[in-house]
Amino acid sequence: MKVFVTGATGFIGSYLIPELMHAGLQVLGLARSDSAAEALLAKGVEPHRGSLEDLDSLRSGASAADAVIHAGFVHDFSRFLEVCEIDRKAVEALGTALVGSKRPLLVTSGTGMGSSRPGEVAVEDYFDANHAIPRVASEKACAELVEKGVDVRVIRLPQVHDTVKQGLITYSISVARQKGVAAYAGDGLNRWTAVHVSDAVRLYRLALENGTAGSRYHAVAEEGIPYIQIAEAIGRGLNIPTVSLPTEELGSHFGSLGLFVGFDLPASGALTQKRLDWHPTGPGLIEDLEKMDYSL
């Protein structure tokens, strides 16, 4: 089986490719540049030149493969609405190439899409098409593709981490380094979910091998870590104080990240673990933050 992977040279992709290849799969990886193509070739991956904004390249890559994993995303939160629209169009393009076939399309989303109201634990079988987070557009595109008979399977991610990167928390660390304080919102008891990247990519593989059309899976190992614990770990790592900020100051302190810092985003992965026999074993988020080299 040949799998077309977007985001092949990214954080998740760097773990996902060896996971797939170890399972005996061939990988066709999206490459935006000559250097990216060379890096993929060095790993034994066939490069496919294009980008998430080059819809023709996405359609041709999907057409050349037996399955597609859309793990790419433009991580520019200063233009979040725009990049979410880019992602929606990418999902549509990939899915269009698969209409009339049984080839699966795995699409990456966020666990927040499974929450029925703020602070409610997100679950796999719920989808709020009117969710306030703009990335909801990608899951709406998935639902439309399912209606057209495309085998779409959604992987919802929390904060995916190792000792180098930790999802949105990577940006929190950067802000803390610049500002000289590790900040959190209010009492800091709003919760974020997390999963080690090795567990996340194993879920992608299991969903590819054993998933079902129209299903949503949560890559959740830790269901709700109070953000104050995250801020305190960052403070220890950078040797800076930890401070509370009122909600109205989050935007000025965190910039575009301020939209997320105060969110309460607990999520469950219980159904995913049961349905795919997926059981996370990697280090926890705080453990990885404690082991991180903050001098880099």
| CATH of residue 239 | 3.90.25
On whether both 136 and 188 belong to a single domain, the answer is no
pLDDT of residue 68: 98
Own/partner pairs, 117-122, CB within 8 angstroms, 24+ separation: 118/263, 118/264, 119/264, 119/266, 120/266, 121/223, 121/224, 121/266, 121/267, 121/268, 122/156, 122/218, 122/265, 122/266, 122/267, 122/268
| CATH of residue 136 | 3.40.50.720
CA-based nearest residue to 156, from 211, 78, 81: 211
On whether both 93 and 170 belong to a single domain, the answer is no
Residue 296 lies in a domain: no
On whether both 176 and 79 belong to a single domain, the answer is no
Residue 167 lies in a domain: yes
On whether both 15 and 149 belong to a single domain, the answer is yes
Give the contacts of 241 (CB within 8 A, at least 6 positions apart): 180, 181, 182, 235
pLDDT digit string (tens) for the chain, length 296 residues? 999 999 999 999 999 999 999 999 999 999 999 999 999 999 999 999 999 999 999 999 999 999 999 999 998 888 999 999 999 999 999 999 999 999 999 999 999 999 988 889 999 999 988 888 899 999 999 999 999 999 999 999 999 999 999 999 999 999 999 999 999 999 999 999 999 999 999 999 999 999 999 999 999 999 999 999 999 999 999 999 999 999 999 999 999 899 899 999 999 999 999 999 999 999 999 999 999 999 88
Q: What is the pTM of this model?
A: 0.96
Cβ atoms 205, 256 nearer than 8 A: no
pLDDT of residue 51: 97
Domain count along the chain:
2
pLDDT of residue 195: 98
On whether both 139 and 234 belong to a single domain, the answer is no
pLDDT of residue 118: 81
On whether both 261 and 141 belong to a single domain, the answer is no
Give the contacts of 209 (CB within 8 A, at least 6 positions apart): 23
Residue 235 lies in a domain: yes
Task: Find the domain containing 179 and state its range.
Answer: 160-193+223-291
β 191-196/222-226 pair status: antiparallel
pLDDT of residue 133: 84
On whether both 66 and 206 belong to a single domain, the answer is yes
* C-alpha span between 292 and 296 (Å, rounded): 9
On whether both 251 and 105 belong to a single domain, the answer is no
pLDDT of residue 132: 81
